[in-house]
Structure 1
Amino acid sequence: MQETPFCLKVGHLLPYSMSESNTTEFTNPSTFILLGIPGLEAAHIWICIPFCTMYIIAILGNFSILFTVKMELSLREPMYYFLCMLAVNDLVVYTSTLPKMLAIFWFNSREIDFSACLTQMYFMLIFSVMESGILLAMALDRYVAICHPLRHSAILTNPLVAKIGLAVVLRGCIVVLPFPFLVRQWPYCRTNIIPEPFCAHIAVVNLACTDTHVSSYYGLFVQFCVMGLDGIFIGVSYTQILRAIFILPTKEVRLKTLGTCGSHIFLISAFYIPGVIISLMSRFAQNVPLYFHVLIANVSFLMPPMLNPIIYGVRTKQIRDRLLRLFSHKGT
């Protein structure tokens, strides 16, 4: 069986070898078998503990942000609208992946219907592209707020914010739409075993017994020409922001503004940098066990949705104060 040197998982490169799993001859399976983390099956019951903790933190944190913005009228600003979009996006990412992962780790429930697998794959892809667009919109908001503070409300009006949000959603839907159509039309005759805890795109594509280069090339196009361009524009925005920060009149103002932007830069880095690391691992760390690649890729995919509400909740004074008032009021 010929080995496939790399795998694109939600915009990331992940080593995958067909020789790592058993193969059987069949035609177009109705279900796939998710292995979880190959090589660590005996430790699944323990591995599920940090993943379950991440799930709880992400659910509580993102719902707290949505509730706070809804209840606090002073937070009806572009930054918080985009933050709510990010929270909803992260909730869907976790809801589409973590329950099945935990079912595999806890109950050894490895089967997934073909249509359910495609649906999960589609949601993972679309909301990864959407998160990239939301981070770009948030970088634009910070650029206008810091570089053009007097014109912020005039530039980023509510209608424009709504149009940006709609554009982010439509772009994600349109860009990702070819993936499930391509996957559905191919015949499958190698194996129905996926060495992942969820339906990663190329992990499914590699099971097809036909030429699938078009899907791999399109995946690279999305990674570099869509999400890559977002990363470049975000980098340009924060370069201009940092230039503006260092010419502010007082040290206190510079430090306060830099602290706010620093948390944003940290979250953006947590979203983009792991993909680069995994890409380098796939090319220069071929001898690393498959379970290590799968584990690192899963953590890097699921970490940002957990970190987003923590960082924004701790670093954003308005959200932190509103939550403190809420809990202190309940405690009295």
Structure 2
Amino acid sequence: MTDQRRLGTDGPWVSPIGVGFMSFRAGAGPQDERAAHKVVDAALESGISFFDTADVYGPEHSEILLGRALRGRRDQAVVATKFGNPLDRATNPDPRIDGRPEYLRSAIDASLRRLDVDHVDLYYLHRVDPTVPIEDTVGALKELVEAGKVRYIGLSEAGPNTIRRAHAVHPIAAIQSEWSLFSRDIESSTVPVARELGIALVPYSPLGRAWLTGTVRSRDDIEEQLAAHPRFAEENFETNRALAAEVAAVAEELEIRPSQVALAWVLGRGTDVVPIPGTRHPEYVRENAGARTVELSGDQVSRLEKLADRVAGHRSLQPQNLGTEAPAPGA
């Protein structure tokens, strides 16, 4: 994987596929550390340079493990992390989202310590705070860029108007949202605005939270953290299993893995798209990297693009936090 894609008009160049570190949240012990090292090894060997984490994954474990795994080879990686979900529940009245400048200033310092780095390449507001003007949050992020703690700024699951307002304060390099064959709602909202402004798109869960990997055949195959997700609910399971089987059928035609079909489709949405599938398994990292060379026929794309409208269940456990618009200054 030698080609690169750019995050934003003036942002960093990264591999076309990244690695999400959300799976590394159970702990930071020796076994977890070995697994993280193996994933990073496999990524770098496969030409993957882009790693995505967040302070809330664990919380904290994911950042710690990624920092340890990159020790001695930080210059080979583009590191993204996120803030906005307070880790100190006792001192913050909102246990879910905090976009206040004073909070993000402490959050970045904590993330830098956990990652054991002097800067992060891309720093996202994890979710938009519905009580804080985006101008205030991005203004403080701009100060972090000027201080050298952050290179580029991103937003996750922000509404179109909020994206515009944020970009007017400081260039936004990337917008992170869920985007896959099973989740395409951002195509009529986020995607047009991002492309108008020259902002890259970083799809998380591009494998449909495991549905598009070909590994989910019964409810016994669901990982514990996904059991409560609407798309794995008993009343939705068989509908979504049948749709996933259609992806597997295309994969069989091409003699590749279903995950590679799903990632090839996402990569085909444009050169401004960089998906970040997450895994704890180095063999899946290598498999995902192979999606870059997959070519889907027009007929296969047409068949695949009929799936999203038939998927059962909402894409999120917290739909109220998706596409949020920040309040106006002074409101």
Asked if Structure 1 and Structure 2 have the same fold, meaning a TM-score greater than 0.5 normalized by the shorter chain, the answer is no
Given the two structures, how large is their TM-score scaled by the length of structure 1? 0.25
Report which of the two has the higher share of helix. Answer: 1
- Higher relative contact order (Cα pairs below 8 Å, separated by 6+ residues): 1
Report which of the two has the higher share of strand. Answer: 2
